[in-house]
Structure 1
Amino acid sequence: MANIENMKRIPDDVVEYSLFLDIPSDIEDDKIFDFLQKLADSIIAHFSTRLVNYIWQHESFHLRPVLSTNESIPPHLYGSTSFGDNIDDEWFIVSLLYEITKEFAGCVVRVNDNDEEFLLIEAADALPKWLNPETAENRVFVYNGDIHVIPIPESPEDYTKFPMFTPSLREAVACVRDCTSLTRCSQAVQNHIKKRLSSFPQKSEESIHHVNCYLPTPLAVLLDSYPSLVSAGVRRFYYRDPLELKACRPMKRFKPDDLIKARVKMTRCLYAQLVQQVFAPDRRSGWPIIAPSNPEFLEHDIGVKLAHGFEILCSKCKEEDNVSVDSENLDSSNIRWQQFKQSLASKGYFRGEIEGSTLYTKLLNEAKQFYLSQVSSTDDDVGDIGQLVLLRLKTLEPKFQEFRTSTQNLPPSDDDSWINVTPEQVDELMKSAGGLAAENQTQPFDLSKISQSMSRFVEHESGIDGAEFPKEAVENGDGDGQVVGSGMIEAMQKLFGWYNFIITKKDFEMLHL
């Protein structure tokens, strides 16, 4: 069962999300699980055009019902996704959660990662002073497409509406629904977060990279039919160890004696992971070593790396003779699959294609792949993924010969000049992320202002909780925009995520050790 009370620390590359839906009061307790399961399927189907074809870095977005024996935790849908090295996956999920709260009435969402309430970091400059990691627990939610924060009561009237101490999740969700206008954050906070989300879902399409490479025919057909599997192969190659490479010496499944040039779809992050590693195959594997001066070096280099990644995957599972093509059981007897398929059709997922057509079959295969990732207990088990690859290869075998003749006229690979970032581009990214865009800098950088800001901070009298940033430094009371825009204090706030948090003198002194 999911532990959403943060009793365990969330790993660095994982985002967790809990969806508290409005459950009708007349539903019997033993029916709530099925109710939530149907809602989860409805949510996935509603956003199928975004989700089914999405190539995840590691794990996919998924939802499962949670019924807690703890009265303070209401029944809800829960999910966690490891996004690996691709932070865009995390923000894609956040944008999706925002849309879910707008499309499904009464849905209150909580989302966290190892930075806890990481959404607040985006709006650091606009947050109320009382809000910090200690006071934010169980107070930050997404509702109706907006960020909501349950305030700490300040007046007798507030005590009847808002909890003074950390609320339970049941209390917090009810508070957000009952006091929506009072818990909704200021427009400045909303704007900061929505600016971060404004590039989605378009950014998902922009991050796709197509590359032509030489692959064994079975692997080429597999990745053409099930593009989302590419991330599993890249991951196994990227995190390979010497023992795993031993399985690649005989190359039992992806031999280089049947190579064809194929077009592979992946994300820019996956492509960068493949390109940036120098790799030479073991001569015993039969794979040729191509000189970097060869005009087709990149096509061979990408292909050999993908083949080795999938060889490692398949080496960790049972022999293919033990794989049953009927193990999926996605036929008319699988009611949940049939309902999901009907929901996809009603949302226009199949683009009006006639059942049985080439495009319809491809879309159906991708939908099956995504559906299985939703019902699977885990999509992180290497052996399970390898088993799935072997199953797919068996079912796709009749297409191998046809595919050999269909890849003769491929469009060129996508331009990959984006992988080389200039120092000027880095500077521009830093400025835009820190709010120091050129148009906002009206005065030249003055080191004396930094010195003055630091002196005021050191000499400032501390309170019971430590020294706070001097008001004039934070609010820029002297009218000089440079103190805030380019001053050391604000730079430290942004760099270390201290936004409006209290810093003790001991903390400050530690920076100078």
Structure 2
Amino acid sequence: MFSDLIVHAEDSDGSFLLIEAAEYLPPWLNPDNAENRVLIYQNDIHIITPELVDLEDSLEICDAVKLVFHNSEKTCGCIEIQNAIKRKLTEYPQKIKDNMHMAIVSLPVEIAAILKLRPSIISAIVNSYCNLDALEAKNCRNIEYTNCVSTQIQITKYLYAMLMHTRLIKNVTHNIPETDKKAQLGFKLTCGYYVIMNQYVKDIFSSSEYKKYISNLSKTGYFKDNIEGSKDYKMLLEKAKSYFCSMECPLNTHIFNEISHLKSDKLFEETKEALIQCDDSKLYEDDDDWLNISPDELNNILISKYGKCTTINNEDLDSAQNITSALTNFLKKSSDFEGIERIGEDVEDNKIDFDAEQFTMCVEKLLNIATSNVEIELSEDSEDDDDNDEICQEIEKELSSKLCSVPNSVDNKTVINNLVQSMKEEGLSGPSSNVLKTIDIRKTDLLDSDDDD
């Protein structure tokens, strides 16, 4: 609609648009260096490359906008990135309506009026309740849950599911039946509301959170042994305050101010009166059966999003050999702190011969050495080579005797069976499935949740 508009979109996860195109991003791009480098211009995603601005250099948003405007051909992302993101966007705006849920809840008339006047506040209230800490939960046990009215609220399905599946605070003074869904939801929302209203402190630098924040900075050496009140100390303190102001719950402060403004408006009292006189029989709510999903429906959703996986037959020794070969290839690689980066490699083009029997023997040998009861003492002061030779011979004899007991019946099928069993025992994720991901084999390729065989 606006051909000259350049948009910068971020949330708490950073450049969230790139999540949809993760498989097609250039190797240099990661969450640590994506700040201010991803923008939207003329219906395309634009990425400022290291050729335009070095990754070591800081990039201000104003400079980023100018770079995209004057170098749009160079910054425009590849067609795969564009298509991946636009596929997600084709579901909108209809998906916004599909993702909404209408519910009837029992709320104190004050909160009901606020949500009627400003429905968007529901998001902050739900998140406040679902993220209660122990102290906040304790304070919510005695809140006032009276003078309630039934009212409709429109909420996203995601927030509704969060609210439904977050447990009700225990030991509350109000006896709310488990069968009364309206009251259960209403009480949770009431708790979230009062948490927001009680969290607000006009002077955030006198709050307990700020005092704890400064204390933690002191313990970790942030102030570099500077004396409190000194010039350097004050400079570091100002930086810490600036960071605290930008990060410490600015949303709840904004919500508090908005609620306070609503309550001072004449329309607030009129809305309360209208809610009290409202006919409950005219209220309606959506069916929430969508919260329950069968295994077949889940499989269909996964297939539609990720495609149908071809399950590897455990009887197929060729497949087993490919996996053991790929694992061996993986183990021979070197890595840095970010792990092993696979660029332009094809597992099938890098086949190596792998002797599963020999591999198992090596593992057995290592285990037997580690658990051996033979104690060998080497004196650091000894310079007698003959003694050392004798010790080495004893070690060789011990290894030979141990290796004679190693079974010779290990095959590739056993390797696969062991991997499958490991993945079943480790749950959703663990060492086995993580290693297999690195060689381009997903857990679902080996393990079907509906078939234990």
Shift in Å, 1:146: 0.9
Amino acid aligned to 2:40: V
| 1:226 aligned residue (98, 101, 118) | 118
Counterparts of 1:447 and 1:428, CA distance in 2 = 28
Report the count of equivalent residues: 306
Shift in Å, 1:200: 2.9
* Counterparts in 2 of 1:492 and 1:413: CA distance versus 1, 3 Å: farther
Counterparts of 1:117 and 1:441, CA distance in 2 = 33
Task: Say whether residues 1:192 and 2:84 are aligned partners.
Answer: yes
Counterparts of 1:470 and 1:260, CA distance in 2 = 61
Counterparts of 2:343 and 2:325, CA distance in 1 = 11
Contact 1:317–1:383, Cα closer than 8 Å, also in 2: yes
Residue 43 (structure 1) aligns with: none
Note the 1:104-115 alignment, pairs <5 A: 104-112=2-10
| 2:292 aligned residue (420, 426, 443) | 420
3-state SS, counterpart of residue 287 of structure 2:
coil
Q: Calculate the TM-score normalised by the size of structure 2.
A: 0.54
Task: Say whether residues 1:240 and 2:132 are aligned partners.
Answer: yes
Amino acid aligned to 2:183: H
Residue 176 (structure 2) aligns with: 289
| Ranges in structure 2 where 5+ consecutive residues have no aligned partner | 202-248, 352-432, 443-453
Q: Deviation per CA, 1:310-341, whole angstroms, max 9, x where unpaired?
A: 344445569xxxxxxxxxxxxxxxxxxxxxxx
Note the 1:132-147 alignment, pairs <5 A: 139-147=37-45
* Counterparts in 2 of 1:113 and 1:182: CA distance versus 1, 3 Å: same
Shift in Å, 1:114: 6.5
Counterparts of 1:110 and 1:493, CA distance in 2 = 35
Based on CA coordinates, which of the two structures has the bigger radius of gyration?
2
Shift in Å, 1:150: 4.0
Note the 1:30-49 alignment, pairs <5 A: none
3-state SS, counterpart of residue 282 of structure 2:
coil
Shift in Å, 1:267: 1.7
Residue 325 (structure 2) aligns with: 452
Note the 1:386-405 alignment, pairs <5 A: 387-388=260-261, 390-391=263-264, 395-405=267-277
Amino acid aligned to 2:108: P
* Counterparts in 2 of 1:128 and 1:247: CA distance versus 1, 3 Å: closer
Amino acid aligned to 2:22: A
Q: Deviation per CA, 1:213-267, whole angstroms, max 9, x where unpaired?
A: 222333333322321222233233333345445665664xx542x3332212222
| Ranges in structure 1 where 5+ consecutive residues have no aligned partner | 1-102, 154-161, 319-376, 479-486, 497-513
Residue 73 (structure 2) aligns with: 181
* Counterparts in 2 of 1:471 and 1:179: CA distance versus 1, 3 Å: closer
Counterparts of 1:110 and 1:495, CA distance in 2 = 36
Q: Deviation per CA, 1:271-321, whole angstroms, max 9, x where unpaired?
A: 22221133267664xx4432x3x4xx1122112222333344445569xxx
Counterparts of 1:172 and 1:238, CA distance in 2 = 37
Note the 1:332-481 alignment, pairs <5 A: 378-381=250-253, 383-384=256-257, 387-388=260-261, 390-391=263-264, 395-431=267-303, 435=306, 437-438=307-308, 441=310, 446-459=319-332, 469=342, 471-473=344-346
Shift in Å, 1:139: 4.5
With a CA cutoff of 8 Å and minimum separation of 6, indicate the structure with the bigger relative contact order.
1
Counterparts of 2:37 and 2:71, CA distance in 1 = 13
Amino acid aligned to 2:166: Q
Counterparts of 1:288 and 1:466, CA distance in 2 = 53
3-state SS, counterpart of residue 279 of structure 1:
coil
Residue 268 (structure 1) aligns with: 157
Q: Quick one: percent identity of the two aligned structures?
A: 27
Amino acid aligned to 1:269: Y
Q: Cα RMSD over matched residues?
A: 4.3
* Counterparts in 2 of 1:476 and 1:216: CA distance versus 1, 3 Å: farther
Shift in Å, 1:186: 2.1
Note the 1:4-15 alignment, pairs <5 A: none
